[in-house]
Each structure stands twice: as structure tokens, then as C-alpha cells.
Amino acid sequence: MNRKKKIIQTLKKKDKKQKAKLQKSSKPRYISKAEREKIAQEETQNESTESAQTENKE
């Protein structure tokens, strides 16, 4: 009885781990500090080019 219980317990544990891996995580993807700085620089460049384009149109 004890051995049967242990086998069932380990199989359930493995199954639970596999199901957890398949689940979609709600946690956002990690962005490193260097990537955040790069993104911020790109945004500032985009803003400056957009403001220059709107000035040229007027």
C-alpha cells in the first residue's frame, strides 16, 4: 500500500509540474537596464523627429 501511494504521489507531482510549464505566465518579460536605456533613447529620438516634422509642415 505504501509503495503504491508513493508511486501515485510522484506521478501526480510530475503531472503538476508539466501542467505548470504549459501555463502562460502573467508576469511581464524581464528587460535589462541597458535595454531600457536603449528604448528610452529611441523614444527621445522619435519624439525629436516627430516635433521637427510637425514644425516643417506648418
pLDDT digits (tens, 9 = 90+) for 2-22: 999 999 999 999 999 999 988
Rounded distance between C-alpha atoms, residue 10 and residue 41, angstroms? 51
Q: What share of the chain is helix, strand, coil (3-state, %, to 5)?
A: 80, 0, 20
Residue 48 has pLDDT above 90, yes or no: no
Report percent pLDDT > 90 for the chain: 55
Instruction: Show the cell assigned to 2.
Output: 505504501
Which carries the bigger pLDDT value, residue 12 or residue 1? 12
